[in-house]
Structures are given as structure tokens and as C-alpha cells.
Structure 1
Amino acid sequence: MQHETLDVLIVEDEPQLATLHTEFLEKNFNLRVVAYAATLAEAKAKVNAHQPRLILLDNFLPDGQGIALMEEAAVKNPACSVIFITAASDMHTCSQAIRNGAFDYIIKPVSYNRLRNSLERFIQFAQTQRTFKVIDQSSVDALYNLHAKQFANETGAKGIEANTLELVKALFNNQPDVAHAVEDVVEQVGISKTTARRYLEHCVTTQFVRVEMRYGNIGHPRRLYRKV
């Protein structure tokens, strides 16, 4: 039996990563990427325009947090599922995603074996939704087993490489009184913005640095990091 092609929206502000996701999805699964969004505003417009069956959602976007997209009626629709793929490794964001009904939560850098597992379960879940018109306990159990969230399997420490971590820590040790932005770490350590965010949030979790929010006259507050 041929299964329907499922439409996907990718919300990711790093074009290269969005392209990698697309190639992986369309090469290995019966999934079709119908749109990209690099900002929260674009994501809201495109989710309503395309009504995707699945959203791969980053949380750190230039104009806000991706978690806010889950308040859109088109995303709350039972026919839409969300898989977070994000550097956000704090428990608050993860818990909020669970409460809002996210299908899965994968922490960057992406393990494509982990993503494959998630997408396989999602496709089975979507097919099971179509198959069962009237449910009994066994069909409910099948849906819950496919939707079983494995959030706890991904921790902030996964993917943290010792040498890179030492470089990040050295930046703070050498300037203990300076509050650094993500961009400072990108420039001085020589890593991508996604990687910098992940290492910084790991340092927050391990209480090596603390977060300070700096509010300017215009725009969103800046998230800065200072050595504890």
C-alpha cells in the first residue's frame, strides 16, 4: 500500500542546517518540505498558508522563541505535529514543549540516527491516525506507544567535546568580569552560533556561568553570560 506524502515546514535560521534537514527527510522518507522559515513571523505566516503535517522547529529565532508557534491554531490542530530540533537544553523550554504537545525534542548538534528514529515513529503515528476511525484500547495504546516522548534521553551534556569546552571556559576565565554574548564566543572561539549557544547553555547548567538579560531601548533583550 502506498502511503501519502506528508508535508513538512522547517523553521530554522541557519540555511545550511535547513538544507541538511531537507536532504535527509526527502531522501529517506515519504516527506515533502513545502516551506522554510527563518524567523518566528515567517513561521506563523507559512504554517497558516501551508497547513503542514509536521514542523521541524528551532527555538532560538531572530525575532522570538519558536515555542510561541505552538500557540497558533494551525499547530494546535491534531493533524499537525512538532519535532523540536534546537540548542535549547534548559528544562523549562523542554517542559513547556511537552506540555504543549510536541511529538519529540532533539538537542543540537543533531544525531541523524536519533532524528531517523523520531521520523519513523511520526510516520507510523500519522498512518495509525488515518487507520483507526473508531478506537478501542489497543488502538489507543498503539498511538501512545508511537508518540512516546524520549526527551530524557537527550541531555545538555551530549555532544559536548572537551577541547571546545575548555576554549569556551578559557574565554570566561581570562575575562571573569565581562558578560559575553553568543557572538563573542563565535568570534573568539571560532565556532558556529548554534554550537556556541549549546556550549553556553551547558555552562549555565553546570553553573560555570550565569545568564544576564540586558534590556536596550529597542528590540528584544540580549542574553549575556558571565562567569559565576
Structure 2
Amino acid sequence: MSHVKPLSVVIVEDEPHLAGLHREFIEQHFHLRVAGIAGTLAQARHLIEQHQPRLVLLDNYLPDGQGVTLIDDPLLKRFECSVIFITAASDMQTCSHAMRSGALDYLIKPVFFGRLRASLERFMLLVQTMSQMKKVDQHALDKLFNLPVGDAPAAPSTKGIETLTLTRVKAFFSDAPDSSWSVEQVVEKVGISKTTGRRYLEYCVEIGFIGVEMQYGNIGHPRRLYRKIAGT
């Protein structure tokens, strides 16, 4: 076990369940410690000032403003803090602002843990390179700015996916190609449990059969809706 003190991370996310999932994943798979979770920009600035983290996982839609404004805050530059956006904001203006201001990565919700893992691995590689190398060569730079050459994206896991059930789920979406459905509606119509439904829906998203839409209401958190992708 490493005796080096784990790097500090602050999560800025106003959905407590999602923030908890990210915290668990980070601390299970990386030598990182989540110093705190902020649900607002004000809380985020306080935690960053207090803990001086090396990494911030940043949502954009927060109760007191947009997270993208935080990336320009001198506070982050003072502590040499990297930022990974994890947000439902898919407009080019927000994405462009984040990347031009130096975001390490930009992940659009819902995020698969394989994609989050790749982003965190890139952060860890950046930290390692900065601490061990006085000069970098082209190979090291290529690894920092891109996926390693020759590394193909991992194929979607078929573990727990049974052909007959998958066919029923696909048929449900094919019968209503222009409709969007919640997970509760899908499991009721197909006749499967919610746990099973989530697994099959995630698999169908991974293989590009259905897409995810975020529905924002006046009260509460956004709902995830699933719709068949045209041409599949």
C-alpha cells in the first residue's frame, strides 16, 4: 500500500446521490481523497480555500449560478487545481468556455464509469508526469493530451445481458421510435425489475441503440428519459 498522502478532491454537485456515487468510485479506484462535497458555488469556494484540492469535479447547473464561472476564479489557479466537468450542459458555448479556460476534461451526464475512469487516469498521469519529469518528450505529451495510440475503446460488457430480454427491450423502443420513456415506464411495459431495466438501458445506450435526454421541471432534479436513436 502506498504511504504517499492521497491527493485531495472536491466534488461540486447538487445531486447528493450522484455526488456520493462519484465519491465512492474515486476513493475505491484511485489514490485520491474526497475532501468535501459542495452543492453550491459558495460552498465550493469555501471548500477549495479550506482544502486546496488538486482536482475539482464540477457540475454546471447549481442553485446559485453556473459552475463554469468557477473555472476562471483565481482561487483555482492559486492552488494549481485541475477541473473535470461532469454536467448535463451540452451547449457548445459552455463546453468551449470550459475548455478554453483550461478544463482537463468535459463529461456530459449521464456519465459511464468507464469514461470517468479514463478522465481520472489522465489526471493521475498528469500529476505523475509533472512530479517526475523536468522535460517531456512527444510520447509523454501524446499520452497527456490524447488516449494512448492504439488503445481502442473497450467494447460494452455483455455480462448479465440475456438475448431474449434484450430483444424485448429493443422491440419496445422500436415500436415507439419517436417517444421518450423513463426507466419506470420501460420496466412496467416490458415486465422486468427496475434493477434489470437499468442494466439493459445502460447497455443499449453503450451500443448506441438508444440515447438519453434530460427533462428539467420546475421542481426537483432532472429526469433521465430514453429514446431510440434514428437509424438503429
Q: Same fold (TM over 0.5)?
A: yes
Distance 1:35 1:194, change over 3 A: farther
Per-residue CA distance 1:145-173 (angstroms, 9 max, x = gap): 31449xxxxxxxxxxxx6797248xxxxx
> TM-score, structure 2 length as denominator?
0.64
Structure 2 Cα separation of the partners of residues 164 and 58 of structure 1: 31
Q: What are the residue-to-residue correspondences of 1:35-184 with 2, within 5 Å?
A: 35-77=36-78, 79-132=80-133, 134-136=134-136, 138=137, 142-143=140-141, 145-148=143-146, 166-167=179-180, 182-183=216-217
Q: 1:36 to 1:108 in 2, by over 3 A?
A: same
Change in Cα spacing, 1:102 to 1:144, as seen in structure 2 (3 Å) is farther
In structure 2, the residue matched to 1:210 is none
Cα distance between partner residues in 1 of 2:65 and 2:16: 18
In the alignment, the residues of structure 2 paired with residue 69 and residue 164 of structure 1 have an alpha-carbon distance, to the nearest angstrom, of 39
Distance 1:164 1:127, change over 3 A: farther
Task: Give the distance between the partners of 2:25 and 2:222, measured in 1 at CA.
Answer: 22
Question: How many correspondences in the alignment?
Answer: 167
Could you list the runs of 5+ residues in structure 1 that have no partner in the other structure? 150-161, 169-180, 200-228
Contact 2:54 2:79 in 1 (8 A): no
Q: State the distance in 2 between where 1:78 and 1:131 align.
A: 19
- Structure 1 131/95 Cα, relative in aligned 2: closer, same or farther at 3 Å? same
CA root-mean-square deviation: 3.0
Deviation at 1:97, TM superposition (A): 0.6
Q: In structure 1, give the amino acid aligned to 2:217.
A: E
Give the CA deviation at 1:110. Answer: 1.0
Identity of aligned residues (%): 48
Q: Which runs of 5+ in 2 are unaligned?
A: 148-172, 182-214, 228-232
TM-score if structure 1 supplies the norm length?
Answer: 0.65
Query: Does 1:193 find its partner at 2:222?
Result: yes
Distance 1:68 1:57, change over 3 A: same
